Chain A
Amino acid sequence: VSGQAARRVDVRGPLELTVQLAADGARHDRASAAALVDRLPTVGGDAVQRFEVVVEGWRFEVSVEDVRHAELRERAARAARDHAPAGAARLHAQIPGRVTKVWVEAGQAVEAGERLLAVEAMKMENELRAPHAGRVEAVHVEPGQTVERNDPLVSLA
């Protein structure tokens, strides 16, 4: 890899993929002249560079980091997760909207993937499902309520 470490390139958007590329390995022949590339602010240090790339109308957020750095970061995250209490989670609203349905109540046991509640945003109804099996500790909203981004919805234990 001609002296430079490989890069982990993480693509998020209408399609999501992670690829490992040699630092000098970009296949520029494939790159479209019509693409737009904007640098995005980095999150917590400069090790991960972030870009918005629009290719023929498809919009991606792409982060690029040294593979060695990515591996260290992942190891640290795994260690932190192993020490956290298992299974506790508080689910937040990812977009503003209106709660249309609540299917669970506090104290109820739920399976992974079970429907918890529905939020309507931009005329679309979106269902929130349990990320893992557990017990509903609290439901923080009720049907008809308007929620803003990051408002707590359901706590799972």
Chain B
Amino acid sequence: VSLHKDSAVGVAAARAPFRRVLIANRGEIALRIIRACHAVGSEAVAVYSDADATARHVRAADAAVNIGPAPATQSYLRVDAIVDAARQSGADAVHPGYGFLSEQPALAEACTAAGIVFVGPSPATLAGLGDKLAARRTAAAIGVPTVPGLFEPLDLASEGWEGRLQAGAINIGFPLLVKAAAGGGGRGMRRVDAADDLAAGATSASREAAASFGDGSVYLERLVEDARHVEVQLLGDRSGSIVALGERDCSVQRRHQKLVEEAPAPGLSAAQRAELHELAIRIAGAVGLTNAATAEFLLAPTGEFWFLEVNARLQVEHGVTELVTGLDIVAEQLWIAAGRTLSPAVREAAAEATRPTRHAIEVRVSAEDPARQFAPTPGRITRWAEPAGEGIRVDSGVQAGSVVSPHYDPLLAKLLAVGPDRATALTRLQAAVKAFEAGGVQTTLPFHRWLLDQDDFRAARGLSTELVDRTWQPAPIVQEAALVAADLALKASLEPTPLPPASEPSAAAWWRAGIDAELEHRL
């Protein structure tokens, strides 16, 4: 499915899209973008905070610029520092990755003002999509089914807000969600099951939204129960052509954070895929999308798609789409930013997007404790061995000796598997998860071992964003593992010649005592 317009933006074949690309990010995604830069013949410039001076992305780049202290607000979130670093290093383009400043119109504008190409949508598109209610209004105006609810923000400091809230809720019905008008990531969001709880839910969501985003206004949306999260990968060029490269199912989440993603979404018919891709392209066309974006939808058990939002950037989980289509999406982003029209390979992949012939699944390996509500586990990685094999890909940002800083996202690596069908991809992924060795910090690997062993997940039955909360019961699993650990340590303690110390003591103890009273409870 694609939206074709006559191309007037022909660019003579160049050897590389840019001479030098600055990557305004860190970790695995910085390494991923460096790889794409090198693949198209561009140099890569890294930026780093004081905490990241020895990080892998710094060493993999052709040059690196320090942009400030460890807290992201003093480094990776500073537009001026990023643009200065680009100027100073002679970069002619900036790739923002995901997170940090990737969807901030301010960085795109500052780059343009400095004569540097921003690899992403235009500032106007970013601003239009960053306002979630504006995006909802746009989608509704062009006939894209949008989750029923309010389309204007409600200010809880205004006169008579409670009456307007109740009136809105009556039209929507319960259960519903109170959502922050600004921001995302599950913050400022409350489920409300009855009218009596509405005012309290709205007040609480508003307070959290004000604290997190500096804007306490909220809106209401129907809660679509048992829904799957399905999203469409989009690419658009400056001539106005926009294509869909297929969809991904990202239903395995907890608190709106994705844990596992796959492409294509299991169980959709070609007609459903065509319908979904067309909806996504229609929204992207309405906001003048260029470069890469992802349109997110809920898929109700009844088969309807409901538009949620557009993320106008590279997505964490873009890799599964790459494995299915054979494309290098980051490289395509660079060529599009340099003014090229969509490549023949992209058009070909788009033409086949409703009839995928491969299946890919990704698990996120994060420094989090799946037995303790996925609480972050910062510390030093003492052991790290990535799996390899047919159909296996690992995008990682760490190695043995890396420090997982509490200042940043705990994502360490993405482990992906591809095969001719879902069953093959699952088998390969399961073997790779078992072979992945990580020590020094607790990771999400044991959750993935469990998930990939579940009959329902293997059969793609009961996929829903509620799946993890409903079915993940770590207590008996971790208890058995603890008893095995006790046995193994006892056995090792009796061995006559101790091995030399493997590592300095790591930081599991950080999460004990004191600060984390909330998280600290024995199972």
Contacts and interface: CB of A to CB of B under 8 A. Distances in A.
A5 interface: no
B522 to A, nearest CB: 6
A122 B486 contact: no
A153 B516 CA distance: 14
Given A13-B508, A94-B516, A28 B434 contact: no
Contacts of B439: 36, 38, 52, 54, 59
A136 interface: no
Interface string B508-523: 1111111111110011
Interface size class for chain B?
A: 35 or more
A64 B493 contact: yes
13 contacts: A9-B489, A14-B474, A21-B490, A26-B488, A26-B490, A30-B483, A39-B492, A39-B501, A51-B493, A61-B508, A62-B489, A94-B510, A128-B514
A41 B410 contact: no
B487 A59 contact: no
B38 interface: no
A149 interface: yes
B490 A35 contact: no
Interface string B378-393: 1000110000000000
A17 interface: yes
Interface of A: 7, 9, 11-17, 19, 21, 23, 25-28, 30-32, 34-41, 43, 49-64, 91-98, 113, 119, 121-124, 126-129, 146, 149, 153
A13 B485 CA distance: 10
Contacts of B505: 40-41, 43, 50
B437 A30 contact: no
A95 B491 contact: no
A95 B493 contact: no
Given A13-B442, A13-B508, A53-B485, A127 B491 contact: no
B482 interface: yes
A49 B501 CA distance: 11
Interface string B382-424: 1100000000000000000000011111100000000000000
B508 A27 contact: no
A107 to B, nearest CB: 22
B499 A15 contact: no
B410 A36 contact: no
Given A14-B523, A38-B383, 13 more contacts: A14-B372, A15-B482, A23-B490, A23-B494, A34-B434, A35-B488, A51-B488, A58-B442, A59-B438, A94-B514, A97-B406, A121-B406, A122-B408
Interface of B: 70-71, 369-372, 375-376, 378, 382-383, 405-410, 433-434, 437-443, 445-449, 474-475, 477-479, 481-494, 498-519, 522-523
A38 B503 contact: yes
A12 B512 contact: yes
Contacts of B408: 122
Given A57-B446, A95-B511, A129-B517, A31 B499 contact: no
A60 B518 CA distance: 21
Contact of B510 (A38, A123, A149): A149
Given A126-B515, A128-B517, A56 B449 contact: yes
Given A39-B498, A93-B515, A51 B406 contact: no
B493 A49 contact: yes
A16 to B, nearest CB: 6
Given A60-B485, A95-B515, A122 B410 contact: yes
Nearest to A58: B481
Nearest to A25: B490
B509 to A, nearest CB: 7
Contacts of A50: 505
Contact of A15 (B371, B443, B493): B371
A118 B407 CA distance: 16
A37 to B, nearest CB: 5
A122 B406 contact: yes
Contacts of A57: 433, 438, 443, 445-449
A155 B372 CA distance: 28
A38 B500 CA distance: 9
Given A39-B502, A52-B439, A59-B441, A13 B482 contact: yes
Contact of A98 (B71, B434, B440): B71
A127 B518 contact: yes
A23 B217 CA distance: 63
A73 to B, nearest CB: 16
A57 B367 CA distance: 12
A21 B485 contact: no
A63 B485 CA distance: 10
Contacts of B486: 9, 11, 17, 19, 21, 62
B497 to A, nearest CB: 11
Contacts of A123: 376, 409
Nearest to A17: B482
B494 A40 contact: no
Contacts of B443: 57, 59
Contacts of A21: 486-487, 490
B484 A38 contact: no
Nearest to A50: B505
A100 B490 CA distance: 43
Nearest to B406: A121
B415 to A, nearest CB: 12
Contacts of A121: 376, 378, 406-407, 515
A57 B408 CA distance: 22
A19 B489 CA distance: 12
Contacts of A95: 378, 406, 507, 510-511, 515-516
A41 B502 CA distance: 8
A58 B488 CA distance: 13
A64 B440 CA distance: 19
A130 B241 CA distance: 60
A124 B488 CA distance: 33
Contacts of B479: 15, 17
